[in-house]
Structure 1
């Protein structure tokens, strides 16, 4: 399996002839190109930095083969599109081409009691090869080899991120959701959470467009 890191929370995953895009939001400049080449789009929740509604709706209109998976709010925003938009929730499993997907988690992490907390799901791909948690530090009840770790945002906290990594126990970490940190901040977080820091696991900080093998 191959992972391409895009800006912020968006990644592309490829296996054999199957290409999936997770969380193409408005903060990802090349989201349209990524979605345009994908077989399916997976959305963790409805926030704009994870779900560019206009972009995904346009892609569905342009490409009859495209499928979208997301929470009930995401599905409601897009409409069923003849069954190509599918609502998923914790406990669901599905297959897209060569990739199996298991759905974990329920809610977005708390920002503040006065801020609405939407549904949020995480996607565990290929039996644990990769886990994208969206905006929550939910620990799936399955082994995770590569964890995509959110490191910035109004809901994140360094101590909680460290405890999350310790609980998941992945083999490797890739930083995502990092756009709200300066360059110095990203380096600092990677150091504090990394192999010589609180988790003992190196945090890979990938520039947009970087491709790695999983």
Structure 2
């Protein structure tokens, strides 16, 4: 299985003829969608789903999108009916197949930024051992071999990212949700701490490049 990192929170899983795209937001490179039929979306914020781009893609091919129900409601509100129609609502505890991968939905709530906000749904996804938590530090009961650990956000604290990684104890971890960090300084500062205190095999995947997961 190959794991490809795109800008911010978006990753792609490829394994033979299986492909699965997770959280393609407004900063995601266009090539991330090449050949993809199934998309997982953790929540409705535009750094995790690009409604305009997906609507454009739906004019020429079919897509299946798995996301919490509020994502579909947002698509309706934003006048993207074709996107809304392509969404299959999922909730924590659901298991399903997407892009040929066995997926389990976990968590349920977005991490708090301030005074209960944003207070929206957030579903993390475990796809055959690869865990994308979206905007949360939810620790699932299911085993995780590869953790995609958030690196920066309004709801973020470095201590929480380290505790989250240690609690899950994956075989390896790679950073996501890092668009708010400067590549020349912020990436390095986060990476140093994850290397020192993450208690896992940690590495950064260069944008649009892939690692092979054994």
TM-score (norm 2): 0.91
Does the residue aligned with 1:106 lie in a helix, a strand or coil?
A: strand
Q: Which moved more, 1:35-44 or 1:165-174?
A: 35-44
Q: 2:64 aligns with which of 61, 64, 67?
A: 67
- Structure 2 vs 1, CA of residues 81 and 117 (structure 1 numbering), >3 Å: closer, same or farther? closer
Does the residue aligned with 1:33 lie in a helix, a strand or coil?
A: helix
1:210 shift after superposition: 1.1
Does the residue aligned with 2:138 lie in a helix, a strand or coil?
A: coil
Equivalent position of 1:139 in the other structure: 139
- Structure 2 vs 1, CA of residues 180 and 82 (structure 1 numbering), >3 Å: closer, same or farther? closer
1:190 shift after superposition: 1.0
Q: Is the contact between residue 112 and residue 155 of structure 2 (CA under 8 Å) also seen in structure 1?
A: yes
User: Where does structure 1 differ by over 3 angstroms across 4 or more consecutive aligned residues?
Assistant: 78-84
Does the residue aligned with 1:56 lie in a helix, a strand or coil?
A: helix
Q: Distance in 1 between matches of 2:11 and 2:83?
A: 24
- Structure 2 vs 1, CA of residues 168 and 4 (structure 1 numbering), >3 Å: closer, same or farther? same
1:80 shift after superposition: 7.2
Equivalent position of 1:51 in the other structure: 49
Residue ranges of structure 1 left out of the alignment (5+ in a row): none
Q: Distance in 2 between matches of 1:4 and 1:122?
A: 18
Equivalent position of 1:200 in the other structure: 199
1:114 shift after superposition: 6.0
1:81 shift after superposition: 6.4
1:62 shift after superposition: 2.1
Equivalent position of 1:153 in the other structure: 153
Does the residue aligned with 2:137 lie in a helix, a strand or coil?
A: coil
Q: Distance in 2 between matches of 1:81 and 1:178?
A: 26
Aligned pairs, how many? 207
Q: Is the contact between residue 9 and residue 24 of structure 1 (CA under 8 Å) also seen in structure 2?
A: yes
1:96 shift after superposition: 2.5
- Structure 2 vs 1, CA of residues 19 and 193 (structure 1 numbering), >3 Å: closer, same or farther? same
TM-score (norm 1): 0.91
Q: Is the contact between residue 171 and residue 201 of structure 2 (CA under 8 Å) also seen in structure 1?
A: no
Equivalent position of 1:5 in the other structure: 5
1:39 shift after superposition: 1.7
- The two structures, once aligned, show a CA RMSD in angstroms of 1.7
